Structure 1
Amino acid sequence: EEEQAEAEAEAEREAEAEAEEEQREAEEEQREAEREEAAEEAAEEAQEAADEAAYQRDVDAEQAEADREQEYAEDNAAAQDRAIAQEEYAEGNYAAGNAYEQQANYDQQAANDDAYDANAEQYAAQQAEARREQDEAYAMEAREREREAEERRRREEEERRRLDAEERERIRREDEQRQQQMDAEPTSGYEDGNNNNNQQKDDGCPCVVM
């Protein structure tokens, strides 16, 4: 009966150990699934941010191009108005026979044209510089988002490793505790007799029970 009880206890311990192992495996699979899901969500967020930044760049570029075309059209219209006014004024001077004023008008028109060309070049340079700065800002923003995503992934990996280490340590302690309990429990009457003999020896008894 004692051996049967011991066998039943051993079977029960093994069943409990197996159940605990299955539970640990299930928990580990759940944590792994959660980590994978978090990594996928982080990747999707980074991709969405990059797509949004690219879309915003395209919108800003189209708006800037529309603004440039509008300003160019307005400048052309103003230049045409000035040219018409200058031409009308020159015709009036010519009719009056004032060649000096006519030449001055031509010189003024040339100066106006030069100033317009200079303004157009300056505007183009300013727009190019603005686009360059905007592209740099978008690139910096994308790098910052990527850095943040990488930092999140690093923290998640560190947390995963920490949890894994804690889980391994917990399993080790449980296994060690079970082993100590098993070592402390007598397994047979022969072992009990040996323990008694050893105790008698330790107490100073010179006799040995065979």
Structure 2
Amino acid sequence: MKETILLVDDEKEIIRLMEIYLRNEGYDLLTASDGLEALELLESHPVHLIILDVMMPRLDGLEACMRIREERDTPIIMLSAKSEDMDKISGLSIGADDYVTKPFNPLELLARVKSQLRRYNRYINNTSQAPAPDEIVIDDLVIHTAMHKVTVDQREIKLTPREFEVLKLLALHRGIVLSMDKIYEEVWKEPYIESKNTVMVHIRRLREKIELDPQNPRYIKTVWGIGYKIEAQ
């Protein structure tokens, strides 16, 4: 079965250029010119990867990414003319998997598409791990693994799929310090290569959502120079 790419950009030249490269590699392609059109297409078409521009009319890429992450774990590559580190961190912190700065080499973007699809396919096809318990309770924090739901003091917390997997991984290994490379390889299902910021951003976002005081975390502890852990009971 052909994999379908959703390319979202208001620049017609980029749409035409990447359509040539993606179709030549055997991918089916859907296109949209803004975030609202992209969300509508996702409701009616199966999509395996999304290429999402940041600056667009009606609904920009960052807001569209946040809405997509509320329901889907589909790989997202952000496109933007901005190259500052904070812009990249913003994209990653709301759930993007990769970030490409315009202008870009089409062959580089194509390589990143293939890499993200390999990573995601390994992730969804991985059945070697033992099933997690249906419910993990850590004081007032409850992780409902089957429903992909998290509550703190009986209040539901909205997590992206990646955030949920990071939290579940730490909870299943309580009392064990997990390095950033271990977290990355277990959650993203890809060798850890200069992906320190990705893990750090997801930990920071998790703390902002589940901790009363993210600066003095109760659940996710930092072990300086090594990694992160949730204390054993």
- TM-score tier, shorter chain, comes to under 0.3
If asked which structure has higher relative contact order (CA below 8 Å, sep 6+), I would say 1
More helix by share: 1
Relative to the length of structure 2, the TM-score reads 0.14
Structure with higher Rg: it is 1
Q: Which has the higher strand share?
A: 2
TM-score, length-scaled by structure 1:
0.15
